[in-house]
A and B are shown apart, each in its own frame.
Chain A
Amino acid sequence: MSDEFNKELYKTDARWQEGEYTVTRTSVWTAPGCHNGCGVLLYSKNGKLEKVEGDPNASFNRGRLCLRCINMIEQVYNKDRLKWPMKRIGEKGENKWQRITWDEAYDIIENKYNEIKDNHGVESIATLVGTGRNSMWQPAVITRAIFGSPNLSFGFLSGDSCYQPRMTANLIKLGDCVISDCSQTHPLRENNPEWKKPEVIVVWGNNPLVSNGDGFMGHWIVDMMRLGTKLIVIDPALTWLAAKADIWLRIRPGSDAALAMALLNVIINEDLYDHDFVENWTYGFDDLVERVQEYPPDKVADITWIPKEQIIEAARMYAKAKPAAVQWGLAVDMQMAAMEASSAITDLMALTGNIDVPGGNIIQRYAYNRSKKYGSAIEYISEEMLLKRIGTYESPIHESGYTPFIPPDKLLECLETGRPYPVQMLWLQGTNPIANMAGEAPRVYAAMKKVPFCVVVDLFMTPSAVAFADLVLPAAMSVERDSFRAWWTPLRSIAKGAELYEQCKSDEEIVLDLGKRIRPDRFDQYNTITDYLDQLLQEDGGVEYDFNALVERVNDFWDWDYTYLKYEKGLLRKDGQPGFVTPTGMYEFTSPLFDVWGFDMLPHHIEPVEGPYTTPELMREYPFILTTGNRLWGCFHSEHRQMPTMREIHPDPMMDINPDTAQKLGLNEGDWAWLENRRGRCKQKVRFNVGLDAKVVRGEHGWWFPEKEGAEPTLFGVFDSNINNLTTMGVHGPTHYGAPYKSTICKIYKVTAENDQLSPTEIVTRKGGFGYAKK
């Protein structure tokens, strides 16, 4: 990565011929892959992709790529890839399929839809989606505009605990979302004259180098370090960034809200806060001052297991650095106090005057407001139909529309009880719940089995497809799609660089095909995908050019996104007045909205539901705090397990443990160990992590084994190493947001021939689950 590259070879055109190769310059954004949309050069010959290079002219990644996109050929032409639509011919779980045409597949869907509409009502169709990739607006449009159902949900992600708590806290407090400013919003990057380097970055609850979460390219942190930025890292485990940080706060999992309150306490009581911002732009500061007195550093040291001196030192370092940014991540969401921690951390940004300043936390909207993501097509749902949303009226924030989902925990209850009505059909697009995001996966497995009809749109035959699907539809990969990306900035083309593999179709084509069949009144106006994309780009005051013009541009930075101090300039509010998009027009330390909804108006700590201070007696049997979900370099969540190159790097699921603890348990590195609690157990391989607290262990998620038998009871071994045998559903914070995925408890013991007679997958698929689970 550097500015010096061969400008003749690396053109700024969108397409060119290079010898036998057609080169397409565009971006990729799944499937498969992560939250990012890196700029790539796709080299193809006769429609077949031959190689991929990072685009040095893309200021997002500047030529860099992670191993996954470099390995694109192995992904696209993988022998296990789904090739054509298939319908189930055996029992569910037998993995017996018959090849059918798309027309036959659509016939089945249309007939089923009509039958459900006539006999049960379209609301009994529910859709499950995965995390933020290019499969967000598409399933939302299929669900709402085509089927007419209001029921869209994360694939049983308990407590909507992926970015929803952080975004919602941002929206409630300041009306917009903020991201850490590493210069990525401007095409000139660090050379933008207005930009300043963050003096300090607080890396909170993520390992961005590996996770690349929320559209943030993790190695931007390294770019900043090379410019001299100092780090404060908040993580229970020692990561490479933590090792390089000036301060590493080794937090007890699930106590982030308490830590944030203590940092606020120090900054307020030592008068290190930004008086100008607080006086002119905020509401409710006095209440916050009062509340933080309940969180002195010595008390919080006991809650978080972080020495008091370190808390004070970190507070001073962050508050004195001008500017300073917080790069936060998923761990903030995956706890009981997700909304509370998110609110308190946002307060830290505001209190120190780091909101929307260069090198701080900059306010971002989707480029040219061109993305509605999961919220798409909500306008097609009538008031009457909205009232039928499952579980939504038990959660005021969901009801108010801050999150475009129905609460996943409530959907599970609905599947289990048939109340308020039985779900007749599940549509899964870009999600593999039992392998990945579903908490208490064996319980979700049992519930999903009850749904009469299920369609899965995916790249590979997944455990969820084998277990539940009646119909499997093969999706196109990113390099085969015409689409675009507007998640943050720039607006990026996703242009086809290779012909579709076998009979695959892009998510966009599936939208259009189904739309024309079921709702011609809404979709016959579009002849091609391009027509539809044109509309998405242009409607409601969008860009003036069309999709083909975006393909030519490759990317387009929106000046609004790189404008600083937008609240001073009157750029946030519809009325053009300075201020924020909140009821008071101010940044809200106390949230009147929270009061309306019956929640505490101020952030506070909530203990994990299981742990040393809530269930000390249980800890005698399950003495370790279990944290999960640390990312793998080569595999995005449950993806990439089919790729030989990725499995060379990640052959087995790994659990991390302090070497002294392991020794006491008679475990050596490389041994298989059981992780077990009241809900179930799974096995992973022991890896030593010298930085972990002796009482904390960490297990990987997303593991299944495509190399194993697909049919039940093996089911690709999906429950054998599944950390979600131990996590929860239906346990979340008071706001309905945040679940303790990263703060449960467990015991650890060695796997032996005697205690490994029946595999966990067999126990779940054949014996009805781990019987001793307490519901």
Chain B
Amino acid sequence: MPKSEEAVQMGLLIDYEFCTNCHTCEVACKKELGLKPGEYGIKVLEDGPRRNPDGKWEWNYVPVPTSLCDLCEKRVAEGRKPTCVHHCQSGIMYYGPVEELAKKMTGKPNMVLYSK
């Protein structure tokens, strides 16, 4: 990586409005990092289901990268996307410089940005 880019902080942006809890990111990450059962580089957490006062259902899944996440250093060096981003079944994970990702979330509700 050229020197000027070294300072750029990278991260993961997740549009959790459409996270279905499909477990793809969890398993893809396990395979990439060589993790055993019980170990996670990213873990999907659940909120709900529960009824809101208007009668609508609230049911959210939010994947949380753990301290084991290295933003797929090896893959990224090869020119690939992080494996969770590549394989996410809803296509709602994005990798990039956090500043750019922050711009991407502007105007779109239910997104979370993870910095590394």
Taking Cβ atoms with an 8 Å cutoff, the residues of A that contact B are 1-2, 5-6, 8-9, 51, 53-54, 56, 62-67, 70-71, 73, 209-210, 219, 222-223, 225-226, 238, 240, 242-244, 248, 633-634, 644-645, 647-649, 690-691
**A-B CB proximity, top 3 nearest:** A1-B91, A243-B57, A67-B27
Q: Using Cβ atoms and an 8 Å threshold, which residues of chain A touch B83?
A: 53
The answer to whether A66 touches B80 (Cβ under 8 A) is: no
Q: In the complex, A70→B27 CA distance in Å?
A: 7
B114 CB-CB contact with A under 8 Å: no
Q: In the complex, A56→B83 CA distance in Å?
A: 12
The answer to whether B48 touches A219 (Cβ under 8 A) is: no
Q: In the complex, A242→B49 CA distance in Å?
A: 11
Q: Using Cβ atoms and an 8 Å threshold, which residues of chain B touch A53?
A: 83, 86-87
Task: State the Cβ distance, A693 to closest chain B Cβ, in Å.
Answer: 15
Q: Using Cβ atoms and an 8 Å threshold, which residues of chain A touch B87?
A: 53-54, 63-65, 70
The answer to whether A243 touches B48 (Cβ under 8 A) is: yes
Contact for A648 among B22, B38, B58, CB less than 8 A? B38
B53 CB-CB contact with A under 8 Å: no
The answer to whether A226 touches B22 (Cβ under 8 A) is: no
Q: In the complex, A310→B86 CA distance in Å?
A: 40
Contact for A222 among B37, B80, B81, B90, CB less than 8 A? B90
Q: Using Cβ atoms and an 8 Å threshold, which residues of chain A touch B31?
A: 51, 70-71, 73
Query: What are 11 contact pairs spanning A and B, CB under 8 A?
Result: A56-B86, A65-B24, A70-B28, A70-B87, A209-B22, A209-B89, A238-B49, A238-B57, A240-B21, A633-B21, A634-B23
The answer to whether B50 touches A1 (Cβ under 8 A) is: no
The answer to whether B89 touches A64 (Cβ under 8 A) is: yes
Q: Using Cβ atoms and an 8 Å threshold, which residues of chain A touch B49?
A: 238, 243, 690-691
Contact for A54 among B22, B26, B86, CB less than 8 A? B86
Known: A5-B81, A66-B24, A243-B59. A644 touches B37 (CB 8 A): yes
Residue in B closest to A691 when the chains form the complex, CB atoms: B49
Q: Interface centre among B23, B61, B89, by most A CB within 10 Å?
A: B89
The answer to whether A209 touches B20 (Cβ under 8 A) is: yes
Contact for B18 among A64, A65, A222, A634, CB less than 8 A? A222
Task: State the Cβ distance, B67 to closest chain A Cβ, in Å.
Answer: 19
Residue in A closest to B39 when the chains form the complex, CB atoms: A648
Contact for B20 among A5, A71, A219, CB less than 8 A? A219
Task: State the Cβ distance, B113 to closest chain A Cβ, in Å.
Answer: 17
Q: In the complex, A62→B18 CA distance in Å?
A: 17
Q: In the complex, A387→B27 CA distance in Å?
A: 51
Contact for A9 among B38, B48, B79, B90, CB less than 8 A? B79
The answer to whether A222 touches B79 (Cβ under 8 A) is: no
Contact for A633 among B18, B23, B78, B80, CB less than 8 A? B23
Q: In the complex, A688→B29 CA distance in Å?
A: 29
The answer to whether A70 touches B78 (Cβ under 8 A) is: no
Q: In the complex, A71→B35 CA distance in Å?
A: 12
Contact for B37 among A9, A51, A238, A648, CB less than 8 A? A648
Q: Using Cβ atoms and an 8 Å threshold, which residues of chain A touch B24?
A: 64-67, 70
Q: Using Cβ atoms and an 8 Å threshold, which residues of chain B touch A649?
A: 23
Q: Using Cβ atoms and an 8 Å threshold, which residues of chain A touch B86?
A: 1, 5, 53-54, 56, 63
Task: State the Cβ distance, A42 to closest chain B Cβ, in Å.
Answer: 14
Task: State the Cβ distance, B35 to closest chain A Cβ, in Å.
Answer: 10
B111 CB-CB contact with A under 8 Å: no
Q: Which of B56-96 contact A (CB under 8 A)?
A: 57-59, 61, 78-81, 83, 86-91
Q: Using Cβ atoms and an 8 Å threshold, which residues of chain B touch A226?
A: 18, 90
Mostly, the B contact residues are mixed
Q: In the complex, A53→B22 CA distance in Å?
A: 17
Q: In the complex, A67→B21 CA distance in Å?
A: 11
Q: In the complex, A209→B61 CA distance in Å?
A: 14
The answer to whether B59 touches A240 (Cβ under 8 A) is: yes
The answer to whether A2 touches B91 (Cβ under 8 A) is: yes
Q: In the complex, A671→B81 CA distance in Å?
A: 42
Residue in A closest to B37 when the chains form the complex, CB atoms: A648
Contact for A225 among B18, B21, B38, CB less than 8 A? B18
Residue in B closest to A645 when the chains form the complex, CB atoms: B27
Task: State the Cβ distance, B18 to closest chain A Cβ, in Å.
Answer: 5
Residue in B closest to A221 when the chains form the complex, CB atoms: B20
Residue in A closest to B79 when the chains form the complex, CB atoms: A6
Q: In the complex, A634→B23 CA distance in Å?
A: 8
Contact for A66 among B22, B58, B61, CB less than 8 A? B22
Q: Using Cβ atoms and an 8 Å threshold, which residues of chain B touch A2?
A: 91
Given contacts A64-B87, A222-B91, 14 further A-B contacts (CB under 8 A): A1-B91, A64-B24, A64-B89, A66-B22, A70-B27, A71-B27, A73-B31, A209-B22, A222-B89, A242-B57, A244-B57, A634-B23, A648-B37, A691-B57
Task: State the Cβ distance, B93 to closest chain A Cβ, in Å.
Answer: 9
Contact for B22 among A67, A73, A644, CB less than 8 A? A67
Q: In the complex, A263→B80 CA distance in Å?
A: 49
Per-residue contact bits, chain B 43-57, to A (CB 8 Å; 1 contact, 0 not)? 000001110000001
Q: In the complex, A66→B90 CA distance in Å?
A: 10
Q: Using Cβ atoms and an 8 Å threshold, which residues of chain B touch A56?
A: 86
Q: In the complex, A77→B22 CA distance in Å?
A: 24
Q: Using Cβ atoms and an 8 Å threshold, which residues of chain A touch B38?
A: 648
Q: In the complex, A222→B18 CA distance in Å?
A: 7
Q: In the complex, A634→B24 CA distance in Å?
A: 10
Q: Using Cβ atoms and an 8 Å threshold, which residues of chain A touch B90?
A: 219, 222, 226
Q: Using Cβ atoms and an 8 Å threshold, which residues of chain A touch B27?
A: 67, 70-71, 645
Known: A70-B28, A219-B20, A238-B49. A9 touches B78 (CB 8 A): yes
Q: Interface centre among A63, A67, A71, by most B CB within 10 Å?
A: A67
Q: Using Cβ atoms and an 8 Å threshold, which residues of chain B touch A242?
A: 57
Task: State the Cβ distance, B25 to closest chain A Cβ, in Å.
Answer: 9
Q: In the complex, A338→B80 CA distance in Å?
A: 47
The answer to whether B20 touches A6 (Cβ under 8 A) is: no
Q: Interface centre among B23, B27, B38, B91, by most A CB within 10 Å?
A: B27
Q: Using Cβ atoms and an 8 Å threshold, which residues of chain A touch B21?
A: 240, 633
Q: Using Cβ atoms and an 8 Å threshold, which residues of chain A touch B37?
A: 644-645, 647-648
Q: Using Cβ atoms and an 8 Å threshold, which residues of chain B touch A210?
A: 22
Task: State the Cβ distance, A236 to closest chain B Cβ, in Å.
Answer: 15
The answer to whether B79 touches A8 (Cβ under 8 A) is: yes
Task: State the Cβ distance, A647 to closest chain B Cβ, in Å.
Answer: 8
Task: State the Cβ distance, B31 to closest chain A Cβ, in Å.
Answer: 6
Task: State the Cβ distance, A17 to closest chain B Cβ, in Å.
Answer: 15
Task: State the Cβ distance, B11 to closest chain A Cβ, in Å.
Answer: 17
Q: In the complex, A240→B19 CA distance in Å?
A: 10
Q: In the complex, A269→B22 CA distance in Å?
A: 41
Q: In the complex, A65→B80 CA distance in Å?
A: 16
Q: Using Cβ atoms and an 8 Å threshold, which residues of chain B touch A73?
A: 31
Task: State the Cβ distance, B46 to closest chain A Cβ, in Å.
Answer: 10
Q: In the complex, A42→B20 CA distance in Å?
A: 26
Q: In the complex, A67→B22 CA distance in Å?
A: 8
Q: In the complex, A649→B23 CA distance in Å?
A: 9
Q: In the complex, A9→B57 CA distance in Å?
A: 42
